[in-house]
């Protein structure tokens, strides 16, 4: 492909689209919208939202040229122990405004360590966490699962990608589980019953 000249500041840039990538950094609601983490940092997010329309146009142009596009996003440890306190407080406020605060026990820190303090018996667990954390969590919770307890594992229908250790346990007839996959788009939901 031929070289393109792009008007830019402080001066024109020549690029070869086949050898150039567009890197979109942190174009997430949490950084750009009112009430998000970006605003809690003191950013005037009304200025940031003005970047969305030009960014969308840039991405459309780059896609038409077949350019590589790389999106980055904020990431945290799988147990969210490194989440900024403002995010935790915003979650608590959201639970409160939704009338759910009395039903949710939000804990900060290492989730596997926190699970060691959960009281039993436990009737229901929804694993909507990083796949490789599911088995360590299950090992911690197992002694407190009531017979008849239901486990839901989001994405567990893949049976791979980090879920192998969980399936090693729940597929073993001696473990006392029965499991089935609800085949939803995106990996499904593994529904498991403790016998």
| Domain extent listing, the chain | 4-71, 77-109, 119-194
Cβ atoms < 10 Å from Cβ of 80: 17
Cα–Cα distance, 120 to 145 (Å, whole number) = 7
Task: Give me the pLDDT at residue 103, please.
Answer: 80
pLDDT of 138 strictly over 90 = yes
Cα–Cα distance, 150 to 20 (Å, whole number) = 49
Contact 69, 21 (CB under 8 A): yes
- Note the pLDDT tens digit of each residue in 19-71: 888 888 778 877 788 877 777 777 888 888 888 899 999 999 999 998 888 88
Say whether 88 sits in a helix, a strand or coil.
helix
pTM of the model: 0.56
Cα–Cα distance, 121 to 179 (Å, whole number) = 20
Residues in contact with 6: Cβ distance below 8 Å, sequence separation at least 6, in sequence order: 12, 13, 14, 15
- Note the pLDDT tens digit of each residue in 60-112: 999 999 888 888 766 666 556 677 777 778 778 888 888 888 887 777 777 88
Task: Give me the pLDDT at residue 77, please.
Answer: 63
Contact 136, 104 (CB under 8 A): no
Cα–Cα distance, 132 to 165 (Å, whole number) = 8
> What fold characterizes domain 119-194?
Rossmann fold (3.40.50)
Measured in degrees and rounded to the nearest 5, phi and psi for residue 192 equal: -125, 135
Q: What is the dihedral of CA 172, 163, 147, 101, to 10 degrees?
A: 180
């Amino acid at each position: 492909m031929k070289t393109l000249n792009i008007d830019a500041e402080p001066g024109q840039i020549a690029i070869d689209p086949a050898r150039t990538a567009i890197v979109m950094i942190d174009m997430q609601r949490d950084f750009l919208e009112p009430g998000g983490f970006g605003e809690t940092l003191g950013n005037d997010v009304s200025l940031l939202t003005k970047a969305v329309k030009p960014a969308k146009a840039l991405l459309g142009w780059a896609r038409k040229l077949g350019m590589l596009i790389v999106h980055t996003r904020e990431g945290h440890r799988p147990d969210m122990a490194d989440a900024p306190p403002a995010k935790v407080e915003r979650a608590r406020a959201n639970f409160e405004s939704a009338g759910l605060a009395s039903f949710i026990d939000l804990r900060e820190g290492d989730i596997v360590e926190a699970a060691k303090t959960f009281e039993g018996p436990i009737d229901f667990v929804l694993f909507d966490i990083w796949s490789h954390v599911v088995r360590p969590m299950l090992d911690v919770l197992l002694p407190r699962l009531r017979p008849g307890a239901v486990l839901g594992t989001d994405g567990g229908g893949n049976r791979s990608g980090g879920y192998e250790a969980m399936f090693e346990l729940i597929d073993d007839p001696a473990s006392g589980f029965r499991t089935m996959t609800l085949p939803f788009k995106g990996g499904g939901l593994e529904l498991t019953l403790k016998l």
